[in-house]
Structure 1
Amino acid sequence: MDETERFDADADTGADGDADGAGARALRDIAYRHLDEAAARRWGALVRPSVWLASEEESWGARGEPTVARLGGRPPLSADVPWPADRDGAPMAFVAAVDCGAVVRAGGLDLPLPSQGVLAFFASTPFAEDGAEGSRAGRCPGRVLHLPAGTLDTEHPAPPAVPVFPRVPLTACREPSAPFPDHPRVRAAFGLHTAEEFHDHPLNDQSFVDELAEYGHRFENRIGGYPAASATAAYEAGAGPAAHPAGGHPRQPGVEETDGAARWVALAQFQRDPAGGMLVAPQPGGTRTARRGVLLWLIRPEDLARRAFEEAVLFRAP
């Protein structure tokens, strides 16, 4: 789908953030082309709203729109807020800041996001090629801070040797989001708890997966919805930090594992360039780097509702 189609679809959205708009209908139509009616209806019920954080370089639809978030630059920390660090005391790199009120006003999210304040995201570096020291795909050190409203454009100097990524303003574009077949919410909805049940189901047909990936899964900056990466992060989050030290979800997740993973939702994802060891700075005309990955923050809705952002977990996804 080109950019014109993408924003034409968004123009038809309602206050529910495209839960029943043209974009969501287009996603559900994919299911009806590949699945029987009952399965397509069940899968379509899993479509969720999200907010795409777009730069002017990525989409003409973002031009002239108010800034609701930014990648990089220096973080909006006040002098009395300690710079986030990992358990060894190493300062983390600032990734992005999101104006909660502006995103909520964009409409439609099904997450209990705060109506005020700024969320600042930090992550350990380097974001290097997978396999390099400190860059393994999977759970990694990260922090989310809920800062006062009106601080999106303020900046605090970074500690020495901490990378500062290019500052990129982002605008809010409502979009529907749909899960890949291996997502725990899909497995739970369809009762796919063995390898045979999963691989033999029409959901796993390559033509369905390919069309779904072409339409709805891009490595972009996003709030809410489903992550662009696989369901590995949700299973690892559900299992806890000590259960799967090597990362990855179980080959045959049972009901308990799937239910635990399904409790975690995507709070935010931001693009990263595994080869360049940095955040992805959008290029004119939407030019993409050869490899894409994301920094993905997951959180349980009940933790988000009580503003327990220290419970959010960060995953690198290749």
Structure 2
Amino acid sequence: MTTSTPGTLQELARAHMPARDAERWIGLLKPGARLRRAREGERVVGVLGGEPRLPEGVAWPVWEGRGPLGFVAAVDCGAIRETAAGQGVDLPLRTDSWLAFFYYEDDEALEIVDAGDPRTWAGYRVLHLPAGYEELPRRATPEGAASYDEVPLTAEIGLTAPAGDAVAVARALGFREPTDEYAHPVGSDAFVEEVRRLAPSTHQLLGNADNVQGPVETEVARGVLGGVDWSDPRLEEEAQRWTLLAQFDSDEEAGMCWGDCGVLYWLIRPEDLAANRFEEARFTWQCC
């Protein structure tokens, strides 16, 4: 994620890649909202951890047979849209409501949420909450649910870069084998390090996912297709139908650590995002 002008990533690509490949890679850049701790005086557009605010009649998400999910974060879509519009950026959000993200964390790893196993999908949830979230009553964290320290969030709007191993990159640059990435400038240490400097991994709404261990779109696609073999040709096509809704990194301030300093990802199809069908989002997570 970059807080610089959009041209920064464009110039980086043009300096490292052949002209045709650079323009194709630039075409994969997506606007997104980088979420970080809000400093005094900055606009708060969300929160990590703490106790969520839930309307009366909305039940705390539970994985039946396992227990209540932990509250990860809530974000104000209206505030983020407004912040982006003030910078001339049209984010693909069509709601002024809030989104609240929940995930079942098992410290003893007796049961993990697996994108490829539908039996575990009750271990994550996205709640679409009304505007005016700040006025709703706080809901105490139920016994057995993971809890995290509260961290207020602000948004920085900018372009996000695709991971070098993303399915879209392989298709755009004509890679036929997974190793092709490493023979191309997009996989060079110099390029990757510069992208990391401009686009550090963090909490994020929309944009390109920052993969830790391979394309997250492929993991979600495999689950949607019923756990097909990784070599199934349908996998790449299905992966192209998914885009990042949100990612939440491990966060020391909030007391969040997903596996070995991993990241939680929620992905959604663009048509569901446009229609505010956030219940159709799918989940995966990765760690080092």
* TM-score for the superposition, normalised by structure 1: 0.76
Q: Give SS of 2:141's match.
A: coil
CA contact (8 A) 1:271 1:280 kept: no
The runs of at least 4 consecutive aligned structure 1 residues that moved more than 6 Å come to none
CA distance in 2 between counterparts of 1:137 and 1:207 reads 34
Partner of residue 52, structure 1: 34
Aligned to 1:82: 59
User: Could you tell me which residue of structure 1 aligns to residue 102 of structure 2?
Assistant: 122
Superposition deviation, residue 306 in structure 1: 2.1
Percentage of identical aligned residues: 34
Structure 1 stretch displaced more, 196-205 or 26-35 = 196-205
1:91 match: 68
Match of 2:79 in 1: 102
Which position in structure 1 is the counterpart of 2:274?
305
Cα shift readout 1:80-108 (whole Å, capped 9, x = no counterpart): 01111124362111111111110111116
Name the amino acid aligned to 1:35. M
Please tell me the root mean square deviation across aligned C-alpha atoms, in Å. Answer: 3.0
| Gap change, CA 1:40 and 1:212, over 3 Å in 2 | same
Name the SS of the counterpart of 2:81 in structure 1: helix
1:211 Cα deviation from its structure 2 partner: 2.4
Query: Which residue identity does 1:106 align to in structure 2?
Result: T
Match of 2:197 among 214, 237, 252: 214
> Counterpart of 1:119 in structure 2: which amino acid?
L
Q: 1:271 to 1:197 in 2, by over 3 A?
A: closer
Question: What's the offset of the Cα at 1:39?
Answer: 0.9
Matches within 5 A, 1:160-171: 160-171=143-154
Q: Deviations over 1:8-39 (max 9, x none)?
A: x3xxxxxxxxxxxx2x2111222122211111
Retained in 1: the 8 A contact 2:84–2:91? no
Q: C-alpha separation between the residues in 2 aligned to 1:44 and 1:63?
A: 35
**Number of aligned residue pairs:** 276
Task: Give ranges in structure 1 of 5+ residues lacking alignment.
Answer: 10-21, 57-61, 273-278
TM-score scaled by structure 2? 0.84
Alignment of 1:285-296 (within 5 A): 292-296=261-265
Aligned to 1:224: 206
In structure 2, relative to structure 1, the CA distance for the partners of 1:87 and 1:301 (3 Å cut) is farther
Quote the offset at 1:192 in angstroms. Answer: 2.1
Alignment partners' CA distance in 2, 1:81 and 1:146: 11
Q: Quick check: 1:107–1:174 contact (8 Å CA) kept in 2?
A: yes
Query: Cα deviation per residue 1:45-84 (whole Å; 9 max; x = unaligned)?
Result: 111111111214xxxxx43112110011111112201111
Are residues 173 and 55 of structure 1, via their aligned partners in 2, closer, same or farther at CA, if it must alter by over 3 Å?
Answer: same
Contact 1:221-1:271 at 8 Å conserved across structures: yes
Matches of 1:110 and 1:264, distance apart in 2: 19
Which residue identity does 2:280 align to in structure 1?
Answer: E
Query: Which residue of 22, 39, 59 maps to 2:21?
Result: 39
Task: State the 1:198 CA deviation.
Answer: 4.3
- In the alignment, what sits opposite 1:235? 218
- Structure 2: unaligned runs, 5 residues or longer: none
CA contact (8 A) 1:93 1:162 kept: yes
Shift of 1:261: 0.8
| Aligned-residue offset at 1:40 | 0.9
Counterpart in the other structure of 1:183: 166
Is the CA contact 1:138–1:317 (under 8 Å) kept in the aligned structure 2? no
